[in-house]
């Protein structure tokens, strides 16, 4: 029966031109090369080489057969490379689930730095609501998650990731845009684009406003900070958002104003429970934590 060793010897002879050179590459004797070729010829039923004065001259059938062998060896080389990546780093892919506010702000910057170190790693990213992010991590379908802190963390390994002071996004032509710092009374009766009711930041803002008898006019609700920014840019109203989310909109119809008293947003880093991260995943986590440390310093205030 034809075996991989016989095919490997044939490949070495065709690639290196002579049996003696193939023997050197394979670190076997030249008689062992000749024996393997003879056995392969018996198995496949046609000659691969003409023998002339101690030399092996490939037949036309051998050249056709070599095309198929070379294709198979390319697959083996790919498998060896994949095995090396797994040996050195773990899985050759990483799956990240992230809530909206960070998926368009922090995550692209982190993944750019990560990709420069690991250009061959396949990356899958899904931007989902924080509750869905948690479920994807708890089920083990994704390797790393970033979620807002309103979720129930049962079933995941959750640690603090980043905390930021939120801002009020205001249309550039709105009277409040010139204030710089806004207070609860400034929002009374104003068209307001609110985060979803379950969002922790929304609940914190609601508590601050209720304590002062302030009632903005909620014209739209959405769980996504990027959607709030787009609506603010369109002039629909104001909204409470992560300052990083406003960056692409600043100077393009949107102004970010500080808010007093401070309302902060906290995000969590989620990992599957009871599973040691591969080296690739660990490196990604390290990159995320490095960025969160820098981001925390920038957001202090």
Residue-wise pLDDT for 91-118, tens only, equals 578 999 998 888 888 899 899 989 888 8
**80 to 4, 85, 93, 119: CA distances (angstroms):** 15, 9, 16, 18
Number of helical (H) and strand (E) elements in the chain, helices listed first = 11, 13
Region 193-207: mean pLDDT is 91
pLDDT at 32 over 90: yes
Q: Helix or strand or coil: residue 259?
A: strand
For 4-89, CATH number out of 3.40.30.10, 1.10.357.10, 3.40.50.720, 1.10.10.10 equals 1.10.10.10
Cα angle 96, 97, 103; round to 5: 95
The structure tokens listed for 287 are: 């990159």
Q: What is the pLDDT of residue 151?
A: 87
Q: What is the pLDDT of residue 76?
A: 77
**CATH number, span 167-262:** 3.40.190.10
Instruction: Please give the helix or strand (H or E) that residue 60 lies within, else none.
Output: helix 60-89
Highest CATH level, class, for 93-162+266-299: alpha beta
**Residue boundaries of the structural domains of the chain:** 4-89, 93-162+266-299, 167-262
Same fold, 4-89 and 167-262: no
On average, the pLDDT of the chain sits at 88
Q: What is the pLDDT of residue 56?
A: 83
Comparing 299 with 22, the larger pLDDT belongs to 22
The beta-strand segments (E) located in 10-52 are 49-52
- CA–CA dist 82, 296 (Å, integer): 37
Q: What is the pLDDT of residue 297?
A: 46
Q: Up-side HSE of residue 240: CA atoms within 13 Å toward CB?
A: 32
Q: Name the DSSP class of 114.
A: H
- CA–CA dist 237, 110 (Å, integer): 32
């Amino acid at each position: 029966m034809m075996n991989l060793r016989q095919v490997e010897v044939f490949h070495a002879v065709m690639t290196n031109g002579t049996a003696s050179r193939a023997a050197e590459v394979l670190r076997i004797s030249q008689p062992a090369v000749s024996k393997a070729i003879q056995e392969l010829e018996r198995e496949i039923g046609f000659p691969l080489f003409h023998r002339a004065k101690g030399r092996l001259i490939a037949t036309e059938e051998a050249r056709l057969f070599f095309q198929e062998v070379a294709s198979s060896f390319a697959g083996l080389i790919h498998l060896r490379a994949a095995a090396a990546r797994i040996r050195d780093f773990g899985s050759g892919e990483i799956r990240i689930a992230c809530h909206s506010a960070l998926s368009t702000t922090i995550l692209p910057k982190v993944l750019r730095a990560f990709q420069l170190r690991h250009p061959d790693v396949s990356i899958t990213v899904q931007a989902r609501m924080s509750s869905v992010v948690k479920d994807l991590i708890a089920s083990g379908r994704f390797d790393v998650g970033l979620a807002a802190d309103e979720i129930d963390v049962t079933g995941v390994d959750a640690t603090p990731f980043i905390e930021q002071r939120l801002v009020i996004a205001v249309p550039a032509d709105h009277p409040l845009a010139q204030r710089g710092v806004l207070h609860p009374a400034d929002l009374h009766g104003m068209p307001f684009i609110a985060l979803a009711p379950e969002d922790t930041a929304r609940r914190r803002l609601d508590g601050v406003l209720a304590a002062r008898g302030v009632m903005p006019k909620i014209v739209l609700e959405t769980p996504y900070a990027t959607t709030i920014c787009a609506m603010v840019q369109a002039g629909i109203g104001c909204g409470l958002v992560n300052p990083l989310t406003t960056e692409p909109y600043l100077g393009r119809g949107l102004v970010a104003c500080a808010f007093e008293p401070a309302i902060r947003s906290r995000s969590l880093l989620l990992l599957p429970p009871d599973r040691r991260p591969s080296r690739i995943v660990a490196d990604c986590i390290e990159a995320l934590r490095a960025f969160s440390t820098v981001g925390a310093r920038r957001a202090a205030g």
